[in-house]
């Protein structure tokens, strides 16, 4: 199949979150399965032309927008798959992708209406007539709308199916209704049955309504977003389209995250020989300035410090645990200032227990996965999650809230049968998290049982090849309806 993969960011060119990693890994996995995949994304300033060896392949590109015309250029880069970059300095010639800090750019509605509209003349200029246009998140939400309206009778796209993947329904692209002018659509689509959303317009809603198939990044999350608690006011819409709503968990790049081959850890190891994990543990303790003791269990988290991730609950819980449990706690991340201050206070009071690194460091992330014993993810909601899968591969046992992809991928430990890969809890409270972690620490002291649990976890496998196969099946299903 010919697949146009539309995204607002992709590693290694531009990244703010997990979407960039998906936009790197999934197209390459589809390519390995024999498909012709082309990525299309904006050419931000961070996408350096020299560094990434971009080649200008088409200019000028005429893009209709707001009943006028804009002019752009197309650049190309090749790294296993072809990536096309839409260049327009006024829209994308900025130092960041969506805004500065927590403040979004005021013209994001116009910027991503332009990007969505530019997809079609770009594909025509490249003479690439896709079987599938695969869109991602609100930044591409108008692409399915334009496919079914402005380009409904265009022979280049009459046999093209459109899929939208919702990576996190908490981000929807909601703007003042005056921005509807950029779409050049009739006002009959700016209604409750169309893109209107509480007297505003919602780009993600448009993508959901006009796509042939909608996916999200785990089976459990596809169910959860149909409820008021998780649907962020779009739950009725998700229930309405549930027959074309699917959940596909993201995959893991085991070429990068595998303790048997990982070059970023001091000693590699496998499930059959876990001795290298002890070496990694000692190196981790030393790097974070903690007492080196292989018998002391290390609890760890790599996360954005936000309400969604449950980091407030975790901070309260580890503070309580420090009064009567022997452990160390390590966290790598960044986020909300009040949470950072909370953990900093804990480090100042218990310097032998708490090891903290603010920001992100790739080598430290690998060392944490390899050297920690227990990985904690108390998320209020988690569309997919990757760290629980990384952790299992490294024999670091996940403790997760049973939500979204965490619930899909972690199997509760059953000591009677020696089965399971981690621990789960449901009630979102300090009391429950405290009780769960204390129970896990008791299990840790039984090293024979713990080793079985580690080996179970390390067998878990969810590759991008697996995920690509599921997307391939949905692509075929979508094409049957075109």
| pLDDT tens digit sequence for 268-284 | 999 999 999 999 999 99
Q: Is the pLDDT of residue 102 over 90?
A: no
High-pLDDT (> 90) share of the chain, %: 97
pLDDT tens-digit readout, 405-463: 999 999 999 999 999 999 999 999 999 999 999 999 999 999 999 999 999 999 999 99
Q: How far apart are CA 143 and CA 40, in angstroms?
A: 12
Model confidence at 482: pLDDT above 80: no
Q: Cis (ω within 30 of 0) for the bond into 273?
A: no
Question: Residue 449's pLDDT is what?
Answer: 95
Structure tokens at 154: 């265009």
Task: Name the pTM for this structure.
Answer: 0.93
Give pLDDT, residue 308.
92
Share of the chain above pLDDT 70, in %: 100
Burial, 147: exposed, middle or buried (Cβ in 10 Å; 0-12, 13-18, 19+)?
Answer: buried
pLDDT at 225 over 80: yes
Q: Is the pLDDT of residue 358 over 90?
A: yes
Question: What's the CA gap between 296 and 351, in Å, rounded?
Answer: 15
Report the C-alpha gap between 135 and 196 in whole angstroms: 20
Token digits of residue 158: 């009459």
> Rounded mean pLDDT of 146-152?
97
Average pLDDT taken over every residue of the chain: 96
Per the document, the length of the chain is 482
Q: How many CB atoms lie within 10 A of CB 320?
A: 15
Residues 6 or more apart in contact with residue 262 via CB below 8 angstroms: 256, 268, 366, 370
Residue 238: predicted pLDDT: 98
Separation between Cα atoms, residue 195 and residue 193, nearest integer Å: 7
Is domain 2-251+465-480 classified as CATH 3.40.50.720? no
Radius of gyration of the chain (CA): 23
Question: Residue 215: left if φ>0, alpha if ψ -120 to 50, beta else—which one?
Answer: beta
What's the CATH architecture for 275-461?
3-Layer(aba) Sandwich (3.40)
3-class SS of residue 398: strand
Question: What pLDDT does 413 receive?
Answer: 97
Closest to 267 measured CA to CA, from 252, 254, 282, 277 = 277
Write the burial class of residue 68 (CB in 10 Å: 0-12 exposed, 13-18 middle, 19+ buried).
exposed
Q: What is the pLDDT of residue 374?
A: 98
pLDDT score for 328: 98
Residue located via tokens 């350096």: 48
Among 164, 157, 209, which residue's Cα sits nearest to residue 185?
Answer: 209
**Residue 17 confidence class, pLDDT cut points 50, 70, 90:** confident
Spatial CA neighbour of 2 closest among 132, 125, 119: 132
Please report how many Cα atoms fall inside a 13 Å half-sphere around the Cα of residue 63, on the Cβ side. Answer: 30
Q: Using pLDDT thresholds of 50, 70 and 90, give the confidence band for residue 239.
A: very high
* Residue 39 CA to its chain's centroid (Å): 17
Q: Would the pLDDT of 175 be above 90? A: yes
Q: How far apart are CA 190 and CA 64, in angstroms?
A: 19
Give the Cα separation of 172 and 192 in Å (integer): 16
Delimit the domains of the chain by residue range.
2-251+465-480, 275-461
**Per-residue confidence (pLDDT) for residue 22, from 0 to 100:** 95
pLDDT given at position 324? 85
Paired with 87 in beta bridges are 73
Q: What is the mean pLDDT of residues 342-362?
A: 95
Position 101 confidence tier, pLDDT thresholds 50, 70, 90: confident
pLDDT tens-digit map of 49-65: 999 999 999 999 999 99
pLDDT score recorded for residue 169: 96
Same topology for domains 2-251+465-480 and 275-461, yes or no?
yes
Residue 64's pLDDT is what? 97
Average pLDDT score over residue span 15-38: 95
* 325-350 residue pLDDT tens: 899 999 999 999 999 999 999 999 99
- pLDDT for residue 18: 87
Q: What is the pLDDT of residue 95?
A: 87
pLDDT, residue 219, reads 97
Q: Is the peptide bond before 237 cis (omega within 30 degrees of 0)?
A: no
pLDDT attached to residue 424: 98
């Amino acid at each position: 199949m010919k697949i146009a993969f539309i995204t607002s960011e992709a590693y290694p060119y531009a990244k703010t979150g997990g979407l960039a990693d998906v936009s790197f890994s999934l197209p390459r996995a589809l390519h390995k399965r024999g498909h012709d995949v082309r990525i299309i994304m904006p050419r931000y300033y961070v996408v350096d032309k020299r560094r990434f060896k971009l080649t200008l392949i088409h200019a000028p590109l005429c893009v209709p927008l707001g009943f006028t015309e804009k002019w752009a250029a197309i650049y190309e880069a090749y790294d296993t798959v072809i990536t096309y970059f839409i260049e327009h300095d006024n829209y994308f010639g900025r130092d960041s992708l969506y805004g500065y800090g927590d403040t979004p750019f005021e013209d994001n509605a116009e910027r991503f209406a332009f990007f969505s509209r530019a997809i079609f003349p770009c594909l025509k200029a490249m003479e690439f007539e896709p079987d599938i246009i695969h869109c991602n998140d609100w930044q591409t939400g108008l692409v399915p709308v334009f496919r079914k309206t402005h380009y409904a009778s265009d022979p280049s796209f009459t046999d093209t199916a459109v899929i939208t993947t919702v990576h996190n329904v908490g981000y929807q692209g909601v703007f003042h209704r005056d921005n509807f002018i950029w779409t050049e659509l009739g006002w009959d689509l700016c209604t409750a049955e169309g893109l209107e959303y509480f007297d505003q317009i919602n780009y993600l809603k448009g993508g959901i309504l006009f796509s042939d198939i909608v996916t999200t990044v785990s089976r459990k999350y596809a169910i959860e977003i149909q409820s008021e608690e998780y649907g962020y006011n779009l739950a009725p819409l998700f229930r309405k389209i549930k027959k074309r709503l699917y959940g596909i968990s993201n995959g893991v790049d085991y070429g990068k995250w595998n303790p048997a081959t990982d070059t970023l850890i001091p000693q590699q190891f496998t499930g059959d020989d876990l001795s290298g994990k002890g070496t990694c543990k000692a190196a981790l303790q030393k790097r974070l300035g903690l007492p080196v003791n292989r018998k002391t269990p290390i609890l760890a988290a790599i996360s954005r410090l936000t309400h969604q991730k449950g980091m407030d609950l975790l901070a309260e819980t580890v503070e309580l645990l420090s009064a009567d449990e022997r452990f160390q706690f390590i966290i790598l991340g960044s986020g909300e200032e009040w949470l950072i201050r909370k953990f900093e206070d804990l480090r100042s009071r218990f310097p032998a227990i708490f090891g903290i690194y603010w920001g992100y460091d790739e080598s430290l992330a690998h060392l944490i996965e390899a050297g920690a014993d227990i990985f904690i993810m108390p998320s209020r909601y988690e569309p997919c999650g990757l760290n629980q899968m990384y952790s299992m591969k490294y024999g670091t046992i996940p403790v997760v809230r049973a939500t979204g992809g965490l619930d899909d991928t972690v199997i509760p430990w059953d000591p009677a049968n020696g089965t399971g890969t981690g621990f789960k809890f449901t009630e979102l409270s300090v009391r429950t998290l405290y009780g769960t972690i204390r129970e896990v620490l008791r299990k840790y002291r039984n090293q024979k049982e713990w080793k079985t649990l580690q080996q179970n976890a390390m067998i878990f496998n969810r590759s991008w090849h697996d995920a690509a196969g599921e997307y391939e099946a949905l692509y075929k299903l979508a094409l049957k309806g075109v």
